[in-house]
Amino acid sequence: MKNFFVKQYQESDYENWNAFIGQAKNATFLFHRDFIEYHKDRFEDRFEDYSLIVSYKDKWVGVVPANKVGNEIFSHQGLTYGGLVINGKSKLTNVITAFRAVLLFLKENKIEKLHLKTIPSIYHNKPAEEIQYALFLAEAKLVRRDSLSVIALSQKYDFSKIRKRGIQKGKAFGLVIKEETDFESFWNEVLIPNLDERHSVKPVHSIAEMKLLKSLFPKNIRQFNVYHNDKIVAGTTVFESENVAHCQYISKYENEENLGSLDFLYHFLITDTFASKRFFDFGISNESQGKKLNDGLSYWKESFGASTIIHDFYEVETTNYVKLNSFFTKSKNILIK
């Protein structure tokens, strides 16, 4: 345990951090420093970066994208998921010990609590739920649980009759799907009006911010629009990682018409554009920190053949590092190759 060392991320770690993310077994492009720094620049007054690096005998074994609020650390609030990102060769005992080192480091730096959101299993390159066991040993408190609607694309799935009717309707109306490199028409003519009319809110990202992210990650952030008689009526913004196509924004604005635009679009994305992915992730249908379910939205996603996986959020007192002092049934040497 003495050979584990934790430090805060510094700008000089930029290249090593990104290289580590590139070979970790539970990382996506959201953990690249350019994506994290975008949030830091955008919310400098809100997100004080406090990302951590865990090493063993000078070899990086884990990183924690994080930000600080008062005397508490959050698994980065600007990211959908997070937690402890680990080396592809790390064993369970290594991860538990690394997590203990993180808690001890935070306690020694007068941090009282760690808020950690896990990385949904579909985003793992191989099984990587060691942190869930470490959290259990540390007696972390489960404070939120979201439900994601996901299609396993390698397995049999089927669209419901109502979705099939919508797809046929889209074909009958002559709808056209285009992948675009800009976001103006979708944001200004569909997303913003729809969110304002239905919920009196604005998109989390502005057009300028999406342009920036697209320029940084051109292969990972993709925009698909649906047109009827050359007028945009619907669209979706997709975050594409190695294993998953995730719908970041979904919206239509058809006035009183029902063109079947989203059914038509998602049939195309699921069966064509992203058919070779392992998973298609529609995202959550939850509200109120997971306590409520938008059943209509959940039903719509499930009618494409999606089913549910869970995304958990925890809180753990940093003083609980002591609960990880002895977790082996027999003492063994820790070896990282």
Which residues have CB under 8 Å from 330's CB, separation 6+? Answer: none
Phi/psi-derived region of residue 111, left when phi > 0, alpha when psi is between -120 and 50, beta in every other case: beta
Mean per-residue pLDDT, 21-44: 86
Widest Cα–Cα separation across the chain: 71
Query: Which is nearest to 115 in space by CA: 317, 327, 326, 328?
Result: 317
The region of weakest confidence among 14-18, 36-40, 43-47, 241-245 is 43-47
pLDDT higher than 90, residue 3: no
Q: How far apart are the first and last CA of the chain?
A: 16
Q: Say which residue the tokens 């930029």 belong to.
A: 14
Strand bridging mode 279-284 / 244-252:
parallel
Say yes or no to pLDDT of 2 above 70. no
The CATH classification number of 155-277 equals 3.40.630.30
Predicted confidence at residue 303, as pLDDT, reads: 98
Sheet strands side by side (includes 59-64): 4-8, 52-56, 59-64, 85-86
pLDDT tens digit sequence for 159-198: 999 999 999 999 999 999 999 999 999 999 999 999 988 8
Tokens standing for 166? 């919508």
**pLDDT at residue 42 in the model:** 59
- Across the range 37-48, mean pLDDT stands at 68
pLDDT tens digits along 279-321: 999 999 998 989 999 999 999 999 999 999 999 999 999 999 9
Q: How far is it, in rounded angstroms, from Cα 103 to Cα 88?
A: 22
Q: Count CB neighbours of 259 within 10 A.
A: 21
Q: What is the pLDDT of residue 38?
A: 82
Which pLDDT tens digit goes with each residue over 123-158? 999 999 999 999 999 999 999 999 999 999 999 999
187-198 as b/e: b if 16+ CB within 10 A = bebbbbebbeee
Which one is predicted more confidently, 331 or 174? 174
The Cα–Cα gap between 26 and 34 comes to 18
DSSP code string of 220-270: TEEEEEEEETTEEEEEEEEEE-SSEEEEEEEEE--TT----HHHHHHHHII
CB 9 within 8 A of CB 102: no
Q: Which amino acid is at 42?
A: R
Asked if pLDDT for residue 337 goes beyond 50, the answer is no
Q: Does domain 4-145+312-324 have CATH number 3.40.50.300?
A: no
Residue 43 pLDDT: 53
Q: How far is CA 90 from CA 53, 85, 332, in A?
A: 15, 11, 15
The residue extents of the domains of the chain are 4-145+312-324, 155-277
Query: Phi, psi (5° rounding) for residue 107?
Result: -60, -45
Let me know: does 289 contact 142? Beta carbons within 8 Å: no
* pTM, 2 dp: 0.92
